[in-house]
Amino acid sequence: MEILGLIVSAAARREGVGRKLLAQVESWAKEVGAGAVVVRSNSKREESHVFYPAMGYQAIKTQAVYEKRLSEQAQTEAQARD
Amino acid sequence: MSSAITKIGRQKDERWRFWRDVLAFNLKVLLGNLRDFALIPVSLGAALIDVVSKGEQDGSLFYRVLRWGAHSEEVLDAYSAVKAENVSVNPNYTVDAVIARMEGVMVREYEKGGTAASIKTALDRVIDQLQHGTGGHRARVQVAIAKASEKLGGRVKLKEAWSPRTERITGSEAIVIRAMTETDAAVVADLAGELGYPNEMGSIRRRIKEIGGADLLLVAGDSADKVMGFIQAHRVASSKQVFAWRY
């Protein structure tokens, strides 16, 4: 099971919202027989790297993402993304 | 002094009206139920007679029974006590609208030469849309149940099974976890924007629709259904990978 996105409004953080959402995913994962729940988080998301270990998640790997821009349009989009 | 007496008199009137309405409503519901119970065999019998002996038009007897039922509904007028209040009904979620939508799906699939499986899939999709459409109301009902359970001192235990469900945090505050619907697109776009991922509301709405039930898409709202966060998770289809690997 992989978490593709978890966002909590800045105004509602530290109120247990993320914990409750995560609990639902874990509950579903158990029900469908998934062995683990995996989540990837950008290294710059400092709060996430406190949150997930507090929820019992263990950092197992650090990855680098490579990209080759194939067109000018893709370059523009990537620049906007950066 | 006189205003205090007037106030007490008004309170007594209101109390009397309340109990009168309670008794009248229950009597009307009881009569309505007896009528409905009788209407099942009567309407089926009328339909049967219509099939066997053709009258002036198809189902003339059956529709006469229906007209009598509609007339009795007006006579009973069970909700007369709140008739002055304008209670709006979403026309998309009346029983007639739901039946019409399902009927439409089945006719379209039949015309396309669809199989039983494709008809079932199409009907599932309609039911999912209906559930999404009523998600907000369901969430409010869940909050009400949680609060009632809390007031009863935890004597009432909600059934423990996996479903997006209400979970209490502290006191009367509640976080409601429910399925994300297309109507959440705007707030999802705002939340994504907060994190530095600008997204068009329209494309988020389209993606919610496309993803459907394939992924787990949940939102967390407060007791007024104000969305505070969301999560998306999906099952990793490792069986389709050519080799096993770990993240």
pLDDT of residue A24: 92
Q: Could you tell me if B232 lies within 8 Å of chain A, comparing CB atoms?
A: yes
Inspect the interface and report whether the beta carbons of B228 and A12 lie closer than 8 Å. Answer: yes
Mean pLDDT is highest, among B7-16, B83-92, B117-126, for: B7-16
Inspect the interface and report whether the beta carbons of B229 and A21 lie closer than 8 Å. Answer: yes
Q: How far is B15 from chain A (nearest CA, A)?
A: 42
Which residue in the set B177, B191, B236 is minimally distant from A24, CB to CB?
A: B177
Cα gap B9→A59, rounded to integer Å: 71
Cα gap B185→B107, rounded to integer Å: 31
Chain A residue numbers with beta carbons less than 8 Å from the beta carbon of B192 are 7
- Pick the more confident residue, B88 or B100: B100
pLDDT of residue A69: 83
Q: How far is A11 from chain B (nearest CA, A)?
A: 8
Model-wide pTM > 0.80: no
Inspect the interface and report whether the beta carbons of A8 and B229 lie closer than 8 Å. Answer: yes
Q: B238: pLDDT confidence band, cut at 50, 70 and 90?
A: low
Spatial CA neighbour of B227 closest among B172, B159, B193, B177: B177
State pLDDT tens for residues B122-171: 777 667 666 655 555 655 665 666 666 566 654 444 443 344 444 444 33
User: Per-residue pLDDT for B216 more than 80?
Assistant: yes
Terminal C-alpha separation, chain A: 28
Q: What's CA A35's distance to the chain center, in Å?
A: 18
Inspect the interface and report whether the beta carbons of A12 and B230 lie closer than 8 Å. Answer: no
Q: Using DSSP bridges, classify how beta strands A38-39 and A2-8 pair: parallel, antiparallel or unpaired.
A: parallel
CB within 8 A of B21, min separation 6: which ones? B81
Which residue in the set A8, A24, A32 is minimally distant from B235, CB to CB?
A: A32
Q: Under a CB-based contact definition with an 8 Å cutoff, are residues B147 and B172 in contact?
A: yes
* Whole-number Cα distances in Å, B61 to B32, B46, B58, B75: 21, 6, 9, 21
Cα gap A17→B221, rounded to integer Å: 9
DSSP letter at B157 equals: P
Chain A residue numbers with beta carbons less than 8 Å from the beta carbon of B235 are 1-2, 32, 34
Q: Dmax of chain A from CA atoms?
A: 46
ipTM entry: 0.85
H or E, element range at A64: none
Inspect the interface and report whether the beta carbons of A10 and B194 lie closer than 8 Å. Answer: yes
pLDDT of residue B155: 47
- Pick the more confident residue, A78 or B191: B191
Inspect the interface and report whether the beta carbons of A17 and B229 lie closer than 8 Å. Answer: yes
Which residue in the set A9, A24, A32 is minimally distant from B228, CB to CB?
A: A9
Inspect the interface and report whether the beta carbons of A3 and B191 lie closer than 8 Å. Answer: no
Portion 207-226 of B in contact with A at CB < 8 A? 215-216, 218, 220
Q: Could you tell me if B52 lies within 8 Å of chain A, comparing CB atoms?
A: no
**Sign, CA torsion B181/B182/B185/B186:** negative
pLDDT of residue A21: 93
pLDDT of residue B209: 85
Q: What's the token pair of residue B209?
A: 């629709």
User: Per-residue pLDDT for B59 more than 60?
Assistant: yes
pLDDT of residue B166: 46
- Pick the more confident residue, B140 or B45: B45
Q: B55: pLDDT confidence band, cut at 50, 70 and 90?
A: low
State pLDDT tens for residues A31-64: 888 889 999 998 888 889 999 999 999 999 898 9
Q: What is the mean pLDDT of chain A?
A: 88
Edge-to-edge, what's the strand order for the sheet holding B174-179? A38-39, A2-8, B227-234, B216-221, B174-179, B166-168
Spatial CA neighbour of A1 closest among A23, A47, A45, A32: A32
Cα gap A56→B241, rounded to integer Å: 28
